Structure 1
Amino acid sequence: MVTISLGGLLGCRNNLIEVPESPYPISDDWFSVDTIARGFTIPYGIAIVNDGEYFITDRVGKMYHYTDGYMNEVEGMPPVATFGTPGIRAIMHGGLMDVSLHPAYADNGLLYVSYLDTTGLARVSRFQIQDDTATDFDTIFTTRNLNWTGNGMRIVWQDSTHFFLNVGNSDWSTSSFPILYAQDLDNDAGKIHRLLEDGSIPPDNPIFEGRTSPSTIWSYGHRDVQGLYYEQSTHTLFGVEHGPKGGDEFNIIEQGKNYGWPLVSYGINYDGQWVSTISHDSAAASTILPEHYWTVPTDDGGQALAPACLLKVDSSTIEDWNGHFLFGSLAYRRLMKFNRKTGETFGLDIEGRVRTIKQLPSGDVIALIERNDLTKANGVVVRIGE
């Protein structure tokens, strides 16, 4: 078993980001870890062509083409919203986010990217690549509203023509001052959207009360879904969602349903104020409560795990992971394992802010881990196998 430590315990004297102890027991799983690419700030999205070829985004606005150990920057990516800290540009909620291959990529060569543009609008664009340059760039989705907070913006395909997209809404809402964008069907924040491959509205999307036609909105009342996984065998969309201070959620995302934010939450606001405006009993009658939620107990009301990605592992070379969900904890800076059947959560000996995990055709797992030094671009991409 190998541990990748991208945190250390040196505090901020050397601008290193600390790695706290795991809030859950460390699972004694056997695996090996190889670093296959370096030099990222926040590696965020990965589109896997085959076992040795990937496209990787960095939230500072760059995309790279990795082929069998060699990596080139892809030119022609769109300008993205960024703001900085001393030494290197940093991203809070914006930037270049997910990248995904069209299911028929082998025939049409189309890639899709999600990002927050320089005006604060969330977008999805599709394009092709010629000689590591983006060509035929076409923006197919733009939010109707500015969305500076809470943009995980994962892209997952339901089938060969439909994909899901999450757009977050992680404002500091309290019961005395609720921010209701996620409940407003005229606002695209706090929603999961379902689109056709060209960005148009599927005619079988839900028609909400008071409306006469469908929109891109599939579900609403989300705070900040940063991990989406679609299980083809059961036709089920799973999501992990940031709570405020505690109350991170594991949800099954269903058509037309309201997931409650900020009317109800299992977390509290960062200043200690209560968030929920209705009781959990009332919420159970009108919204979908999470199948599971996480709040790490603390003396000041609890701590969030901050789940950043989601993968259900099957047919892996790592037997201990098969049938389990993996997600990165940004707050505790390590990869986590969740057993949906038992509700048990475990820490894994892979440290760092794991932003994305995907499974290769071979069964190995790829993890994208952001920098551990605020003044350097030293994030990595690792391959995990038996």
Structure 2
Amino acid sequence: MMTKHKFLGVIFFILISCKNNLVVVPDSPYSISQDSFTMDTIAEGFVIPYGIAIVGDDEYFITDRIGKLFHFQAGNLTEIGGMPGVVTFGTPGLRAILHGGLMDISLHPHYADNSWIYISYLSDDGHAKVARFKVNDQMATQFEPIFTSRSENYTGNGMRIVWEDEDHFFLNLGNSNWSTSTNPVMNAQDLHDDAGKIHRLLADGSIPADNPVLPGFTGPTSIWSYGHRDVQGLYFEPSTHTLFGLEHGPKGGDELNLIEKGKNYGWPLFSYGINYDGAPVSMISEDSAKTFTVLPEHYWTVPTNSGGQAIAPACLLKVDDSNIPDWNGYFLLGSLAYRRLMKYNRQTGETSGLTIEGRVRTIKQLPGGDIIALIERNDLRKANGFIIRISH
């Protein structure tokens, strides 16, 4: 059932950036637009809606982390059969569904001609995988795994699929294992481990010849960049040919990075965050990190009056030609911790947020200019996730 909410002169909490660190100004009014906009709940009943592939303004494919794929068209929601087995509740437990399951979904850039759909998932054999398939009569057909991680017992994290062009796509595999300066977990720095990396692959899953040749290798691998903790948002800007990564820190240290070929992004050697128990993470100083790693363009730390939480970013989108003029040219990101849809200004470093009744997992822009967002609730064992459409 569709639920409609009307907003006039929307009230925001604005986060003011100071030297790339954020301070919360409680109850500070900020109007995203002088005009009204609506937020419509267009589908519900998901546990953790995670990925969405846009076919058209009123047709989408949506993944649920519990292992289900849905087709939404003209208000009707239908489950697609033939999905692979994934790590979910009880295998090995709640942590698996928090960091694994059926993850992202993306259409091949020439989907209208070839019908290929791509998904990422944490397979029930413990490996992170990407597969492609087609849909016929609400069933997955020609199902073909095209990438399998070398790492077993992988915990998921991120696994976003973003297309560079019709031949190449990026895939991020996180590495948010507990790491401290005295007991570091070095997977993200290990070039023989796929975790903590952004990978670049051809449409058939093979390795591009122009991928970087990393230390210790004689030829290119799938790894495009490394030293990542947990990239949750991945966005490619065609006009500038720039890949942006939005990354979870531990406690604070959430980052926006410009992803460059073959570069090291520092985890767990250096972070602006600390661990959840207050223990330091960084093993080296900022000055040392500058000499061989790429520091973030922007980072968020834990505000003093936030209850001990950073923003916990979940997705990233640059808005262009939307139906909400004040959002055009800005980045939108989802905040899991603050339960907000947040707007980030790269020029000023300011971040503002619209409170949402749930954790914002994914944001996409529809062809007609509306914004669509996937929302999960607090109780991950119930089917109470939903999808909203934001329009002028």
What's the TM-score, normalizing by structure 1?
0.91
- Give the Cα–Cα distance (whole angstroms) in 2 for the partners of residues 147 and 268 of structure 1: 25
Label 1:150 to 1:290 Cα distance change in 2 as closer, same or farther (>3 A). farther
Write the deviation string for residues 167-192 of structure 1: whole angstroms up to 9, x where unpaired.
Answer: 00001100000110000000000000
Structure 1 Cα separation of the partners of residues 26 and 266 of structure 2: 26
TM-aligned CA deviation for residue 333 of structure 1 = 1.2
2:19 corresponding residue in structure 1: none
Aligned residue for 1:343, secondary structure, equals coil
Retained in 2: the 8 A contact 1:46–1:56?
Answer: yes
- After superposition, the C-alpha distances for 1:153-209 in whole angstroms (9 at most, x for unaligned) are 000000001000000000110000011000000000000000000000000000012
Contact 1:147 1:169 in 2 (8 A): no
Kindly provide the amino acid, as one letter, of the partner of residue 336 in structure 1. M
Question: What is the CA–CA distance in structure 1 between the aligned matches of 2:189 and 2:228, rounded to whole Å?
Answer: 8
Report the identity percentage. Answer: 69
Instruction: Select the residue among 26, 31, 35 that pairs with 1:28.
Output: 31
Partner of 2:202: 196
Secondary structure of the corresponding residue to residue 98 of structure 2: coil
Match of 1:220 among 226, 230, 234: 226
Query: How far apart, in 1, do the equivalents of 2:380 and 2:234 lie?
Result: 27
Instruction: Classify the secondary structure of the residue corresponding to 1:83.
Output: coil
Say which is worse superposed, 345-354 or 131-140, in terms of deviation.
345-354
| Letter of the 1:251 counterpart | N
Aligned counterparts of 2:26 and 2:61: Cα–Cα separation in 1: 33
Which residue among 134, 144, 168 is the counterpart of 2:140? 134
Partner of 1:170, secondary structure, is coil
Equivalent residue number for residue 239 of structure 1? 245
Cα 1:124–1:278 shift into 2, 3 Å = same
Instruction: Pick one of 343, 358, 361 that aligns with 2:364.
Output: 358
**What's the CA shift for 1:334?**
1.4
Q: Deviations over 1:86-117 (max 9, x none)?
A: xx998210100000000010111000000001
Shift of 1:347: 1.0
Shift of 1:84: 4.9
Higher relative contact order (CA 8 A, sep 6+): 1
Does residue 81 of structure 1 match 2:81? no
Asked if 1:184 is matched to 2:155, the reply is no
Task: Please list every run of 5 or more consecutive structure 2 residues that lacks an aligned counterpart in the other structure.
Answer: 8-23
Aligned CA distance change for structure 1 residues 366 and 171 (closer, same or farther; 3 Å): same
Distance in 2 (CA, whole Å) between partners of 1:301 and 1:360 is 35
Once the two structures are TM-superposed, the CA of residue 211 in structure 1 deviates from its matched residue by: 1.5
Q: Partner residue of 2:119?
A: 113
Query: 2:150 touches 2:194 (CA, 8 Å); kept in 1?
Result: yes
1:83 positional shift: 1.9
Counterpart of 1:360, as a letter, is L
Q: Aligned pair in 2 of structure 1 residues 264, 345: CA closer, same or farther (>3 Å)?
A: same
Q: Any conservation in 1 of the 2:122–2:156 contact (CA below 8 Å)?
A: no
Contact 2:243 2:260 in 1 (8 A): yes
- TM-superposition CA deviations, 1:200-244 (whole Å, max 9, x none): 000000001231100000000000000000001110001100000
Distance 1:89 1:380, change over 3 A: farther
The residue type paired with residue 297 of structure 1 is P
The RMSD of aligned alpha carbons is 2.1
Please say if 1:44 is aligned against 2:50. Answer: yes
Distance across 2 between alignment mates of 1:369 and 1:181: 31
Which residue of 2 is the match for residue 71 of structure 1?
77
CA drift of 1:349 comes to: 3.5
Name the SS of the counterpart of 2:112 in structure 1.
Answer: helix
CA distance in 1 between counterparts of 2:228 and 2:333 reads 18
Query: Structure 1 residue 25: deviation in Å?
Result: 4.9
Q: Write the distance in 1 (CA, Å) between the matches of 2:243 and 2:272.
A: 22
Number of paired residues? Answer: 367
The one-letter amino acid paired with 1:315 is: D
Match of 1:165 in 2: 171
Pairing 1:262–2:265 present = no
Unaligned 5+ segments in structure 1 are 4-20
Measured in 2, the distance between the counterparts of 1:179 and 1:24 equals: 40
Q: 1:89, 1:53 → 2: CA distance?
A: 32
AA aligned opposite 1:362: G
Q: What are the superposed Cα offsets for residues 21-72 of structure 1, whole Å, 9 maximum, x if unpaired?
A: 9979564224210111010010000000111110000000000000010110
What amino acid sits opposite 2:103 in the alignment?
M
1:15 is matched with none
Relative to 1, partners in 2 of residues 1:136 and 1:289: Cα closer, same or farther, differing over 3 Å?
same
| Structure 1 residue matching 2:287: 3-state secondary structure | helix
Shift of 1:371: 2.6
CA deviations 1:244-273 (Å, max 9, x no partner) are 000000000010000000000000011111
Q: Secondary structure at the match of 2:133?
A: strand
1:23 and 1:182 map into 2 onto residues whose CA distance is 37
User: Structure 1 residue 350: deviation in Å?
Assistant: 2.9
Contact 1:25 1:347 in 2 (8 A): no
* Residues 41 and 378 in structure 1, CA contact (< 8 A), matched pair in contact too: yes
In structure 2, the residue corresponding to 1:91 is in which secondary structure?
Answer: helix
Asked if 2 retains the 8 angstrom alpha-carbon contact of 1:40 and 1:371, the reply is no
Equivalent residue number for residue 327 of structure 1: 333
Moved more, 323-332 or 215-224: 323-332
Of stretches 114-123 and 297-306 in structure 1, the one that deviates more from structure 2 is 297-306
2:280 is aligned with 1:274: yes
